Structure 1
Amino acid sequence: MKKLTLSTVTLLTAVTLAGCSTSENVVTSAGNQTITKDEFYEAMKDSVGETTLQRMILINIFENEAGTNEFAKEADAEVTESMASVGGEEAFKGFIQEMGFASIEDYKQQILLNKLLPEAIKNRTEITDEDLAAAYESYEPQINAAHILVDDEDVAKDLIKQINEGADFAELAKENSTDGSAENGGDLGFFGKGQMVPEFEEVAYTLDEGEVTDTPVESEYGYHIIKMLEKPEKGTLEEETEQLKDIIIQEKIQDAAFFNGKLAEIVKDADVKVNDSDFKDIMAPFLVEEEAVEAQDSATTETEESATTESTPETEESAE
């Protein structure tokens, strides 16, 4: 089962301000009482305004950095898949609300941001031939596996027995698997190292194409019966270059100093203009690393200048 990385940042679609209190500026009314877009905007500023605006700005910045892409479509597809895996829209809403998301659109925007960020950083990062060669040594291509997930070990053993006697794996997955992959015959799609829970991944990578585990694999989710569908051969360094770049960037992002530095660099270069004075410092938290670097450079320069000044009299005396 794939691990989910979720953020608790909330999102609310920005409200466009109207210039006057006409009916076009009224969001709701009850009798002679109304709520205008201006009033609604001010209320939202106090609750979710800052985090919402930060994320909207970051998405705009990273869209510019990443260039043409299909990330929005991919985010839509992931939401649809996740929704199906938990049993539909209502169940999915409950699931993401527990994680701190106010809406499905909120969750979708976070997925989009998570896709844009590595691409933006990759475009700002020099990856050397030495980096690629080192990554290639330990690289293993993504694999495509299917599984049947059940809660009871004896049930899993009985299903393995049926498979060994000729039963169709995909049909058994549709009839018995307890997760969202059941409707696809257990097919989990392609995945790489670190994307599955360790117990599952360790066994999956030992299987040959067409092979099924002969004993149930226990994880925190239950008991898995795993079948290897596709296990591509490792390509040449040139063929695997793009995959390797993605892996290198993901590893670099785990380095807090590197990540914060690149993020600050991108945000600074974007030169964000904020017209609402209440949000004038909204991007300041993302520029901390840049300011720290500038402060360090300034301190270094002052130290060097001081050292030069202090050495001058001695130099003059020596000259005399």
Structure 2
Amino acid sequence: MKKYLLAGFGAVALTTLAACNNDEGNGSTIATIEGGETITQEALFEDLKNNQQAAGALQNAFFTDLTEQLLALAGEDMDFSEEQINAMVATLQDEFGVNSEEELVDIVVERLGLEDRDDMIDNLIIPELTLIELQAQDLDYTDEDIAAYFEDNREQYEQVEARHILVEEEDVANDIIEQLNDGSDFADLAEEYGTDGTATNGGDLGFFTRAEMDEAFAEAAFDLEVGEVTSEPVESAFGFHVIEKTDEALEYDTMPDSAQMAVKRAYIEENRP
């Protein structure tokens, strides 16, 4: 990545101005990227209106804008497969804590000002894939190296999939367990009794690592067999849980694409030249 940035900034024509009191005003060009857009004082200052840490924010905004444009330009020369794009979409779903691509698009539209899925792909997914590719350019590695890295950091990356029913009282959790033992449907009970946002989708939590959950919850979920429900309530900082493990990904080659992407990103970041 360092080598790329040096080459990339060779394509950046910086126009140095006489600070903020330049005769041309706030519309003055601060930087122009060949093949990209110009960055003006007006645009940067507009972004900073709601940020009181002006000096640091100005620097961050300036170089963030430059970086985004450089990555976008570099990405035009890279041919990413639909599989790679979908894996990065799934990774971002995990990072934003949503269960569907539609929810992810809604979030990036609201928070990042993007327009739709295509805009998300062009301005978020492709630049991130480009960054990973550039970081790995001078790194000689194989799939076996990534799998070995996973083994060395297993507890950080192995995942299970589960659903749960969160309630405030232990007696209620015990009653739910009895109903499950009598053949009641887990999703129906989650919708009836659940007190958190997962209740409406049957208590589904998707895949998660140990670190992403309360310690007691994670220990209980990882200890279950697939299809098994906790025999007694699990108390966490949030209340009492009834947990069912629905799947597990404890080996690198059985992990979801998003999880494999996370391992690869971490390996490249740690080992890049």
Q: TM-score, normalization: structure 1?
A: 0.47
Q: Does 1:44 align with 2:46?
A: yes
Q: Does 1:160 align with 2:169?
A: no
1:208 to 225, 237, 245: 225
**Residues 46 and 133 from structure 1, CA distance in 2 versus in 1: closer, same or farther, beyond 3 angstroms?**
closer
Paired position in structure 2 for 1:54: 63
Letter in 2 for 1:179: D
Q: Does 1:127 align with 2:134?
A: no
Letter in 1 for 2:182: E
Letter in 2 for 1:51: N
Question: Take 1:245 and 1:45, find their aligned partners in 2: how far apart are those partners?
Answer: 32
Shift of residue 202, structure 1, vs aligned partner: 1.8
Q: Secondary structure at the match of 2:223?
A: coil
Letter in 2 for 1:224: H
Letter in 2 for 1:226: I
Letter in 2 for 1:186: G
**Residues 73 and 248 from structure 1, CA distance in 2 versus in 1: closer, same or farther, beyond 3 angstroms?**
closer
Q: Any gaps of 5 or more consecutive residues in structure 1?
A: 1-24, 26-37, 84-88, 93-100, 263-320
Q: Does 1:250 align with 2:259?
A: no
Q: Secondary structure at the match of 1:170?
A: helix
Contact 2:161 2:206 in 1 (8 A): yes
Paired position in structure 1 for 2:111: 104
Q: Secondary structure at the match of 2:166?
A: strand
Provide, for residues 18-37 of structure 1, a one-character-per-residue CA deviation record: whole Å limited to 9, x for no partner.
Answer: xxxxxxx9xxxxxxxxxxxx
Q: Any gaps of 5 or more consecutive residues in structure 2?
A: 1-26, 28-39, 50-56, 101-105
Paired position in structure 2 for 1:98: none
Shift of residue 174, structure 1, vs aligned partner: 1.4
Letter in 2 for 1:105: L
Shift of residue 70, structure 1, vs aligned partner: 4.3
Q: Secondary structure at the match of 1:210?
A: coil
Question: Take 1:53 and 1:82, find their aligned partners in 2: how far apart are those partners?
Answer: 33
Mean Cα displacement is larger for which, 117-126 or 70-79? 70-79
Question: Take 2:219 and 2:133, find their aligned partners in 1: how far apart are those partners?
Answer: 29
Q: Secondary structure at the match of 1:144?
A: strand
**Residues 156 and 59 from structure 1, CA distance in 2 versus in 1: closer, same or farther, beyond 3 angstroms?**
farther
Q: Does 1:145 align with 2:147?
A: no
Paired position in structure 2 for 1:170: 187
Contact 2:159 2:250 in 1 (8 A): no
Question: Take 1:215 and 1:39, find their aligned partners in 2: how far apart are those partners?
Answer: 61
- What does residue range 86-101 of structure 1 map to in structure 2 within 5 Å? none
Mean Cα displacement is larger for which, 50-59 or 197-206? 50-59
1:184 to 197, 201, 208: 201
Shift of residue 185, structure 1, vs aligned partner: 0.6
**Residues 145 and 180 from structure 1, CA distance in 2 versus in 1: closer, same or farther, beyond 3 angstroms?**
same
Paired position in structure 2 for 1:194: 211
Contact 2:71 2:127 in 1 (8 A): no
Provide, for residues 222-265 of structure 1, a one-character-per-residue CA deviation record: whole Å limited to 9, x for no partner.
Answer: 32211011235747x7x77x866742542564x5xx6xx76xxx
Shift of residue 211, structure 1, vs aligned partner: 0.4
Contact 2:93 2:99 in 1 (8 A): no
Shift of residue 146, structure 1, vs aligned partner: 0.9
Question: Take 2:260 and 2:97, find their aligned partners in 1: how far apart are those partners?
Answer: 28
**Residues 248 and 106 from structure 1, CA distance in 2 versus in 1: closer, same or farther, beyond 3 angstroms?**
same
Paired position in structure 2 for 1:219: 236
Shift of residue 168, structure 1, vs aligned partner: 1.0
Shift of residue 213, structure 1, vs aligned partner: 0.7
Provide, for residues 50-80 of structure 1, a one-character-per-residue CA deviation record: whole Å limited to 9, x for no partner.
Answer: 4334333333444536753347855589769
Q: Secondary structure at the match of 2:188?
A: helix
Question: Take 1:114 and 1:79, find their aligned partners in 2: how far apart are those partners?
Answer: 17
- What does residue range 11-90 of structure 1 map to in structure 2 within 5 Å? 41=43, 43-44=45-46, 47=49, 49-63=58-72, 64=74, 68=80, 69-70=85-86, 75=92, 81=98
